[in-house]
Amino acid sequence: FCLIWSSFDKLIASLGVFVFKFEYFGSFLYGFLNRLLLPLGLHSILSFPFDFTSLGGVEIVNGNTVRGLKNIFYEQLLDPSLVKFSSGFAKISSGFYLSIMFGLPGAALGVYKGIVHEDKNKVSALLLSGALTAFLTGITEPLEFLFIFTAPLLYFVHAAYSGFALLLANFFDVTIGNTFSTGFFDFFMFGILQGNSKTNWISVLPLGVIFFALYYFTFSWLYRYFDFQIFVTDDPFFEGQEGKLESLGIAHLLIQGLGGFDNITKLDVCSTRLHVDVVNTELVNDDLLKEAGVLKVVLVNGKVQLFYGTNVYYIKKAIDTYSPKSLFEASVMVAVDNVKKGFKTYIEMKEDKKLEKQGKSGKTYKISELEED
């Protein structure tokens, strides 16, 4: 493991030198790899050295030597004499405003135009919420994982376009920083409010329109040409007693698939994944996890990533509230509800028979007479 990780570390260091040495192609490669590594959760490993070590640049700000792109950005925000933000943002960061804030909404619209089945309204709600989330906050997982699991080719195209976006941002010297992601909120605070002279944010607008159109026409054509299909199922979680029982049953399977409570040391969630720290990865049972609805299981350095989709927060809530007692209580409540429904059906059937007898004794006779008249 040490030899493998050492080689991987050297590869990232070499990539850092490559990105800053080979200007435009380096920017393209960084953006492309950043998106390709996201499904594995390794995109942070790629970006961390650039953000917080000398790979991201070394600059003198307010008389202090600062290393790492994020650190430089935070210091430059406090510098009243700043003329221009670090060019490092143009190389490996600002371009994501094009692909995320403009590109992904265009992709969502393009996919929507290509849908022909009866679930179009349900899918449109998913696409719209994902597009708004990407545009406003820069959170991309809802749309990106939708493409990964239903149309991987579309995701590969998105990764390539992300690299192209970084190349263009570098060419036009767009130096807009960010603290969280590259959505409109960060664009407004760290682009517009900082002034065009420091960031060249105005260039993002025409380029963004181009990327919106590029994504829209590409994704619309590819979706129809390859006949990709996106379907949305109704979410049963926490809808009535039966929904609660089903979600607790899923939580039970997940816990067993992860080796039991004793094997779980930490459980966290992001927009589409469960992040689980376990004591022994050999106790992880992929079959049980997939039976619980997990789309993909990834083991990284003793940590388990469970890809679920946008309903992952419901899953996390079910796990947090799960216990053998809660599962038993939910089962009892569903059984009681079923008995009530059965009794209600029995009463309704008796009423129907009673009305039927009354009709035969003469209540429908008058109606038939009117019909004859």
The first and second tokens of residue 209, run together, are: 């329109």
> HSE of 41 in the Cβ direction (CA atoms, 13 Å)?
19
| Per-residue burial over 273-285, b = 16 or more CB atoms within 10 Å of its CB, e = otherwise | bbebebeeeeebe
**Cβ atoms of 39 and 148 closer than 8 Å:** yes
The first and second tokens of residue 340, run together, are: 């009530």
**Residue 152: C-alpha distances to residues 36, 58, 156 (Å):** 11, 38, 6
Respond yes or no: is residue 270 known to be catalytic: yes
* Chain position carrying tokens 């961390």: 48
**Residue 232: C-alpha distances to residues 126, 146, 256, 282 (Å):** 8, 11, 27, 33
* Chain position carrying tokens 């376990």: 278
Among the listed residues 60, 202, 270, 335, the single catalytic one is 270
Instruction: For the beta carbon of residue 109, count every other beta carbon within 10 angstroms.
Output: 19
Residues identified as active-site: 270
